[in-house]
């Protein structure tokens, strides 16, 4: 088998399902980070956080001030192109489209600029 983006996408989905029993057993949230790969190997950072807190929210709070946001901006909803999204985080490896948003209906994630988020948050 040769690794490519579609294979690794399927791997990530299967991995997330496979770790659910471990998350429940040890009361943690496990996150698979960015996957880097070649044709015959791949690697990823795996991080586990106690379930006492929301991992995504903790990450958001960690970086919010760095990009001019407040910790309480986490989860705020915005409307972009007629679709409702929740502001859920930051992608540090994407300098332009750094802000992560999640479609509140489908759960699909997207990225946008800090300026767009700031403008849309002001309209609320």
CATH number at residue 69: 2.30.30
Q: Give the residue, 60 or 27, on which the prediction is more confident.
A: 60
pLDDT digits (tens, 9 = 90+) for 32-88: 888 999 999 999 988 887 766 677 888 899 999 999 999 999 999 999 999 999 999
Which residue is associated with the tokens 């190997």?
Answer: 41
39 and 19, same domain (yes or no) = yes
Domain that includes residue 39, residue range? 5-50
pLDDT, position 53: 60
61 contacts 70 by C-beta, under 8 angstroms: no
Look at residues 30, 2, 36, 4 and name the one whose alpha carbon lies nearest to residue 15: 30
Q: How many whole angstroms from its chain centre is CA 114?
A: 15
* Domain identity same for 77 and 115: yes
Do 20 and 71 belong to one domain?
A: no
Instruction: Indicate whether 15 and 38 sit together in one domain.
Output: yes
pLDDT tens digits along 102-121: 999 988 999 999 999 999 99
- Let me know whether 95 and 109 are in one domain: yes
What's the predicted TM-score (pTM) here? 0.60
Residues 61 and 118 placed together within one structural domain of the fold: yes
Residue for token digits 């948050």?
121
Count of structural domains, the chain? 2
pLDDT of residue 62: 92
Give the mean model confidence (pLDDT) for residues 9-18.
Answer: 92
How much is the pLDDT for 49?
75
Q: Rounded to the nearest 10 degrees, how much is the dihedral formed by the CA atoms of 10, 14, 16, 22?
A: -160
Please tell me which residue, 85 or 24, carries the higher pLDDT value.
Answer: 85
Return d(Cα 15, Cα 63) in angstroms, integer.
Answer: 27
Say whether both 38 and 68 belong to one domain: no
Name the more confident of 79 and 31.
Answer: 79
Residues sharing a CB contact under 8 Å with residue 76, sequence separation 6 or more, in sequence order? 86, 87, 121, 124
């Amino acid at each position: 088998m040769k690794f490519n983006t579609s294979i690794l996408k399927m791997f990530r989905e299967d991995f997330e399902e496979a770790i659910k029993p471990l998350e429940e057993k040890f009361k943690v949230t496990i996150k698979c980070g960015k996957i880097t790969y070649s044709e015959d190997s791949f690697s990823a950072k795996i991080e586990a956080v106690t379930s006492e807190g929301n991992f995504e929210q903790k990450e958001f709070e960690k970086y919010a001030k760095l990009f001019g946001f407040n910790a309480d901006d986490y989860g705020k909803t915005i409307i972009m192109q007629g679709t409702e999204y929740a502001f859920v985080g930051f992608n540090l490896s994407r300098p332009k489209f750094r802000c992560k948003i999640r479609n509140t209906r489908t759960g699909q994630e997207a990225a946008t600029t800090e300026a767009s988020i700031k403008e849309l948050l002001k309209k609320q």
